[in-house]
Amino acid sequence: MDNEVKNRIYSLRNELNYHNRLYYINNSPSISDIEYDRMMHELLELENQYPEYYDQYSPTQRVGNDHNEGFAQVTHERPMLSLSNTYSIDEVADFIKRAYKELGDSEEVKIVGELKYDGTSISLQYENGRLVRAVTRGDGVRGDDVTRNVMTIKSIPLVLPKGNYPYKFEVRGEILMPWTSFEELNKERAYNEEPLFANPRNAAAGSIKMQNSQEVAHRKLDAYIYYFLGDNLPYDNHYDNLKAIKEWGFKVSPHISLLNTVEEVREFINVWDIKRKELPVATDGLVFKINSLRQQEILGNTSKSPRWGVAYKFQAERAETRLKYVSFETGRMGVITPVANLEPVLLSGTIVKRASLHNDDIIKSLDIHEGDSLYVEKGGEIIPKIVGVNKTLRIKGSMPVQFVTHCQECGTELERIEGEAAWTCPNKNYCPPQIKGKIEHFVGRKMMNIDGIGEELVDRLYSVEMVRNVADLYDLTMERLLTLDRLKEKSAMRILKGIEESKQVSYRRVVYALSIPNVGETMAKILANASVNIDRLMSMTVEELSSINEIGPIIAKNVVEFFEQASNIAIIERLRIAGVKLALDESEQISKTDVLSGKTIVISGVFKNHSREEYKAMIENNGGKNSGSISAKTAFILAGENMGPSKLEKAKQLSVPIINEEEFIAMLEKVTS
Ligand code: IVH
C-alpha cells in the first residue's frame, strides 16, 4: 500500500513538472487547466495524508510560505557584472569593429543578438538537477539569497528532467513581471491607494525581495535565462550553450539570433525597435555578445563589465505638451493625487490628456510652473509619465505649481502623512469621495459582493442622504428604494437580496470591506485569522498586532487608529445588529477542541510555523488560557527560538515543561484527526 502511494506521488510530481514545463516554458500546454488542477489536487491530498513524503521540490510547494526570515547574504562564485550601455547604433558597430581588430583578421567572429529584458537579474545554482540557490545581483559581489521566493516562479525549473547537465552549474537570467500582471497589480494598488510601481522592473525587483513568498507566488512573475557560465560547459560558444540549457528545461528567449556582420546587427536593431512593442514583457534594449567563448576570454573584462558584450538601449518615446492645469484628486482613503491635465498629445499611438504627478515632492523636484511645456514619456510604454520641463518655453513670470492646502472636495485642511510624501484629507466621515469610495468598496465583488449597487447608485443614495456610511445599507427597504427616481421594483429587489446575502460573507472579507487604511485583501485575511473575531481585533494593541507575521508597525497603527474612532465603532455595532459576520466560522478556525481545557500556557520566543497571535488563538480555541508569566500553575511553555534566558531559568526552577511548535501542533492534531 505504502509503495503504491509513494509511486503515485512520484508519478504525479513528474507529470505535473512535465506539464508545468509545457505550459510555462514552451507555451504549449497539452492538457486542460482542469486536468492539471485535478492532478495538483490529488497530489496535495496525498502529501497532506502522507507527510513523510514531503519534498520542498514538489510542484505543490510553489505556493510559498509566510515565514518571515529576512535574506541571507551570499557571495557570488563569479561576480555578476553588468554590460556597458549605448543608445547609438554607430557605437554598437564600433564595438564590433573593435572586437574584430583585437581578435585579428584571421578570426571568424559571430555575434549573438538578444533582447535586453527589463526586470531584475538572478543567479540560479543547480546541483544534481535541482535548484539549490537563487541569489540576486546585489552589489555584483554579494547578493541576497531569495531561493524561497524564486521557487514560486513557475517558469524556473525546480527539478530538471533527466539530461546530460553537469552535477553542479550556474545559470543567470532576468526575472520579469509581464505587462498584464503589472497592470493588474498596479490597478489593485491604485485601488488601495498604495504607491504604484513605476514600471515592471521595479515591480519585479520589489516582488522578489518580499518577505512573504506566498505573496510572491501571487505576483505572477516570469523569467528568461540568458547566460550559462562555469568551467565545464557543453559547447565552446554561447549560442549552442543556450540551446543546450533550453533542452534541459530552462526558459530561454525564442528571439535569439546568430549574426555574422555589422549590417546584420543593424538590421536586428531596426527590426526589434518596432517588434519589441508586441512582446508580453518589457525590454529596454538589445544585447550583443561575441559568440565564441574562446574569443570572449581573449577580450576579457574590465572591472565592471565584459569586453565581449554590449547593451543597446532603446530610446523611450517622448512627446512635449502644454500643462493646462493640475487637479488635486481625493481618493477613497483620503490620499490626494496631483494630476497634470495636458493639451492632448499623441504618444506611442495613444492620445495622452492626463498624467499622474504622484506627490508634492515630484512636482517640486521637476520644478513645474503653471502653463509649462512638459516632456511626457510612456513609463514602460503604458503609463504616461512627466519626466521634465522644457524651460526654454516657460511663460515669463509664471508661478511654480503649488500643492493645495485644502481638500478640493470638502474644503478641509490637508495633513501630511508622517514619513511619506503624500497629503491626505482628514475629514474621513464627511468628505464625499471618501465616503462614496468606501461604500463602493464595501459592496465590491471581492468584499460584500452586493449585487445591484454600483458607482452610480452609490452616488444617488449618497446625494439623497439615504446612505452615508456602510451600515446605512442595512436600513434600506423596498419602500425607501422606490422613492429613488427611475429605480424599479425589480432592481430594488435585487439590491435587497444582495444586501441580505452579504450577511453570509466571511469575516475575512468583512475585514477587507471596512476600508482600514493599508489593509488590502491579503492583510485582511491575516488580521481576520489572527483575531478570530472583531471584538478581539478591536482590542488588540499595536504591539500585539505587530507580532503577527507580515503585519508591520504601520498597518498595526492604522488598525488601532481605525478602531479608536467612535464613528467606526458605531458602524460596526450597527453591522453586528444587522447580522453581518464579525467572527470566523468554526470551520474557518484553525481548530476547536477542549484539549487544553484548564491549562495555562505561556508563549515565548520566535516562531516559524504560525504567528504568536495565531498560537494565542489556537490556545484559546482549544480551551486553554494564555498567560504572560510563568508560575507553578503554568501547564507548559510553548517555546519558539531564542526564548528569553530569564524565562528559561524560571521554567527550570519550577519544572515547567517546555514544548516546541511541532510538538504543540501535533498535540492539537492528534485530537482533531
Ligand atoms: S548578459 C556580464 N543578456 O541587463 C553581463 N543581460 O547590464 C551578462 N539583461 O545585469 C548579462 N537581458 O540584468 C544579458 N539577454 C541578456 C539580458 C541581460 C537583460 C540585464 C541583466 C544584466 C543587465 C546588463
* 306 Cβ below 6 A of ligand 1: yes
Q: Are 171 and 135 spatial neighbours (Cβ–Cβ below 8 Å)?
A: no
Any ligand 1 atom below 6 A from CB of 323:
no
SS3 328: strand
pLDDT value at 549 more than 70: no
Mean pLDDT across 116-133? 95
Nearest CA to ligand 1 atom 3: 226
- For residue 670, pLDDT over 80 is answered with no
Mean pLDDT of 296-307: 90
pLDDT band, residue 7 (cuts 50/70/90): very high
> Is 507's C-beta closer than 6 angstroms to any atom of ligand 1?
no
Give the nearest ligand 1 atom to 227 CA.
1
Contacts of 84 (CB under 8 A, 6+ apart): 304, 305, 310, 311
The Cα–Cα gap between 381 and 183 comes to 12
Kindly report which listed range (68-72, 262-266, 298-302, 403-407) carries the lowest average pLDDT score. Answer: 68-72
pLDDT digits (tens, 9 = 90+) for 252-292: 999 999 999 999 999 999 999 889 888 999 999 999 999 99
Highest mean pLDDT among 7-11, 173-177, 543-547: 173-177
> 50 alpha carbon to ligand 1 midpoint, in Å?
43
What DSSP assignment string belongs to 352-408?
A: EEEEE--SHHHHHHHT-BTT-EEEEEEETTTEEEEEEE-GGGPPTTPPBPPPPSB-T
DSSP state of 215: H
Tell me, using a 6 A CB cutoff, whether residue 358 lines ligand 1. no
Nearest atom of ligand 1 to the alpha carbon of 81: 2
DSSP label of 652: H
**130 Cα–ligand 1 center, Å:** 24
- Predicted local confidence at residue 673, as pLDDT: 41
Confidence of residue 380 (pLDDT cuts 50, 70, 90): low
Taking the centre of ligand 1 as the mean of its atom positions, its distance from the CA of residue 243, in whole angstroms, is 17
Decide: 226 in ligand 1 pocket, CB within 6 A: yes
Binding site membership of 287 for ligand 1 (Cβ less than 6 Å): yes
Res 407: pLDDT: 97
pTM of the entire predicted model? 0.66
Task: Read off the DSSP letter of residue 533.
Answer: B
What is the Å distance from ligand 1's center to 87 Cα? 16
- Residue with CA at minimum distance from ligand 1 atom 16: 116
The answer on pLDDT for 671 being more than 60 is: no
Best residue among 81, 83, 84, 120 to mutate for probing ligand 1, ranked by most atoms within 8 Å of CB: 83
Query: How many whole angstroms separate alpha carbon 4 and alpha carbon 603?
Result: 41
pLDDT digits (tens, 9 = 90+) for 202-260: 899 999 999 888 889 989 999 999 999 988 899 999 999 999 999 999 999 999 999 99
Ligand 1: centre distance to CA 105 (Å): 28
pLDDT at 58 > cutoff 60: yes
Secondary structure of residue 312 in the 3-state scheme: strand
List the 625-627 sheet strands across, edge first: 625-627, 600-604, 634-639, 658-660
| Cβ atoms 172, 117 nearer than 8 A | no
Q: Is the CB of 283 under 6 A from ligand 1?
A: no
How many helices (H) and strands (E) the chain has is answered by 24, 22
Catalytic pick among 101, 110, 116, 209: 116
Query: What SS3 class is residue 335?
Result: strand
Rounded CA-CA distance 415/359 in Å is 13
**Choice between 621 and 599, residue whose per-residue pLDDT is larger:** 599
Residue 118 CA: nearest ligand 1 atom is 19
Tell me the one-letter amino acid at 392: T
Q: What is the pLDDT of residue 463?
A: 94
Task: Give the lowest-confidence range in 56-70, 301-315, 587-601.
Answer: 56-70
286, β-bridge pairs:
115, 312
Q: Whose CA is nearest to atom 12 of ligand 1?
A: 116
Count of C-beta atoms within a 10 Å radius of residue 412:
17
Ligand 1 atom having least distance to the Cα of 284 = 19
From the CA of 366, how far away is ligand 1's center (Å)?
A: 30
Identify the bridge partners of residue 354 per DSSP, sorted by sequence position.
Answer: 341
**pLDDT tens sequence across 429-460:** 899 999 999 999 999 999 999 988 999 999 99
pLDDT mean over 20-28:
82
**Per-residue pLDDT tens for 566-579?**
999 999 999 999 99
Partners of residue 135 on adjacent β-strands: 123, 145
Structure confidence at residue 1 as a pLDDT band (50, 70, 90): low
Alpha helices in 75-135 (DSSP H): 89-103
Is the model more confident about 647 or about 448?
Answer: 448
Q: Is the CB of 204 under 6 A from ligand 1?
A: no
Determine the average pLDDT of the residues in 497-511. Answer: 96
Q: Is 83 in the pocket of ligand 1 (CB under 6 A)?
A: yes
Residue 475 grid coordinates: 436600513
Taking residues 627-638, report their average pLDDT. 88
Q: Is 214 in a helix, a strand, or coil?
A: helix
Ligand 1 near 76 CB (within 6 A): no
Tens of pLDDT, residues 125-179:
999 999 999 999 988 899 999 999 999 999 999 999 988 999 999 999 999 999 9
Out of 15-19, 33-37, 514-518, 663-667, least confident range: 33-37
pLDDT at 589: 74
User: Does residue 65 surpass a pLDDT of 70?
Assistant: no
Compute, in angstroms, the gap from residue 518 CA to the centroid of ligand 1: 35
Atom of ligand 1 nearest to the CA of 114: 15
Whether the predicted pLDDT of 88 surpasses 70: yes
Confidence at residue 669, expressed as pLDDT on a 0 to 100 scale: 72
The two beta strands, 336-347 and 350-356, are antiparallel
The answer to whether 49 and 8 are in contact (CB under 8 A) is no
**Residue 116 annotated in active site:** yes
Q: Reply yes or no on whether the pLDDT at 672 is more than 80.
A: no
Nearest one of 254, 311, 242, 310 to 280, comparing CA atoms: 254
Cα 378 to ligand 1 centre (Å): 23
6, three cell numbers = 509513494
Angle at 442 between CA 439 and CA 447, to 5 degrees: 165
Beta partners for residue 325, in sequence order: 341
Mean pLDDT of the chain: 90
Radius of gyration of the chain (CA): 29
Spatial contact of 74 and 142, defined as CB atoms under 8 Å apart:
yes
Distance (Å, whole) CA 48 – CA 673: 12
What is the percent of the chain with per-residue pLDDT over 90, rounded to a whole number? 62
Q: Residue 68 has what pLDDT?
A: 46
Q: Is 114 in the pocket of ligand 1 (CB under 6 A)?
A: yes
Any ligand 1 atom below 6 A from CB of 311: yes
Q: How far is residue 486's CA from residue 492's CA, in Å, rounded to a whole number?
A: 11
Q: What is the DSSP letter of 129?
A: T
CA angle, residues 131, 135, 137, in degrees to nearest 5: 145
Strand, helix or coil for residue 590? coil
